[in-house]
Amino acid sequence: MFIGIFLVAVMQSQFLLAVYRGQSGADRVVSGYKAESAVYDIVAKFLGGYPQAFAFPFSTSKTLDDGTTLTVEGVTEGMGQKLLVTADREYAMTRLEMSRGVREVQTLPVEAQVVLALDCSARMDEQADPTCVTGCGKRIVEEKNGTLQFINSVISRPVNARFKLGVAVFRVGAAWLIEPTYDMNAVKDAVHDGLRQDTASSPACQSLSGEPGEVSLGSGLSFSLESLKDSAGEGMAQAVVLVSGEQTNSRIPYDPCPPSVLCTGAGCRPAALEMLKCTAADDADSKNTGYLGVRGQKVSLYAVGVGGGTETEEEMMLRLYANKYFHTANATVLPRLLQEVFGLEVNRVATMKIRKVVPVIIP
């Protein structure tokens, strides 16, 4: 009778892929289909090197719906790891023993690529400090000072060799003041030479399309985002820092953000705002706004706006969609705000570490 029951149990079970098995014939039996499925799942996670699937050493046991007691033990052996799986049921028991070792461990240094997008419109010719009476500088001067402080902060930190920085300028169109580079001294020189006391005397602002009072925040963002696409990938932290006078009244043709048209002036404001929204929001709706934009989710957006006391639609959009938004009515604090932006980004880069483990089965 006992032999008959045992044979039926064997005939109704399936064999699991053998990695290491016990010596008894009964060990070759998978105790029921639910047990088989559970064991296969454990084997796949272990041999596939799923991150955080197991925290060695450990031991756990559970009873499945069909009565099978499934016990899993994880032990460390030198540089390797061993997994012991036992499926125990009346008249049938399976014990699997699997090992894996670390063949290759790579710590990939994370690099940062940051684009500073600077407003070159007439908004930056306004007085930096609204309370100033005499000898008052303009916003563009503080925009320049803040940018130089950002660059100096990169230079002063140990991670400077991993920072690639570019500076773009925009009005209706956008262009490079200096393309992304690891040479921070070259970036400083470009900023020193390109930005002056006002937009009219700043060489960086002269070749941009559009009249001084026309500006497209979406143009500055789209230009910056497109420049990051080719270098995106594992081990690269990317960010755009948008510094603006919080006004957009123009847009350029940009197919990802319809309507892809060129327009300027007061009648263009709705289309200009739509382009700002499209380029500021990320493509995964990570802030749960119900809207999908074109900015890659892994590209951080820091927006620094200089404006008046009344919240504008531009400010509301940037506050809603940017990873971090700063607003001030006094442009003299721009250097401090950009310093804070740098702190946020450098901390992100410093804490991002990629550890790649390639498992190998130990024979």
Q: Tell me how far CA of residue 325 lies from CA of 219, 232, 243, 318, in angstroms.
A: 18, 23, 10, 7
Q: Are 192 and 139 in contact (CB under 8 A)?
A: no
Strand order, beta sheet including 354-361 = 58-63, 69-77, 80-89, 92-108, 354-361
pLDDT at residue 96, rounded to an integer: 72
Instruction: List average pLDDT for each run of 10 residues in the chain, which is 363 residues long.
Output: 34 34 37 57 60 69 80 77 75 67 52 94 95 92 96 85 93 97 96 97 95 96 96 85 96 96 92 98 94 95 89 94 94 91 76 45 42
pLDDT at residue 84, rounded to an integer: 80
Q: Are 291 and 273 in contact (CB under 8 A)?
A: no
pLDDT at residue 60, rounded to an integer: 82
pLDDT at residue 16, rounded to an integer: 33
pLDDT at residue 356, rounded to an integer: 43
| Torsion sign over Cα 52, 19, 106, 80 | positive
Q: How many CB atoms lie within 10 A of CB 317?
A: 22
pLDDT at residue 12, rounded to an integer: 33
The residue type at 271: A
The residue type at 305: G
For the chain, domains (ranges, CATH) are 2-106 (no CATH), 109-351 (3.40.50.410)
Q: Exposed (0-12), middle (13-18) or buried (19+): which is 51, by Cβ within 10 Å?
A: exposed
Of the candidates 178, 166, 180, which has an alpha carbon nearest to the alpha carbon of residue 203? 178
pLDDT at residue 93, rounded to an integer: 66
pLDDT at residue 345, rounded to an integer: 82
Please tell me the total number of residues recorded for the chain in this structure: 363
pLDDT at residue 252, rounded to an integer: 97
Beta pairing, strands 174-181 & 163-170: antiparallel
pLDDT at residue 354, rounded to an integer: 43
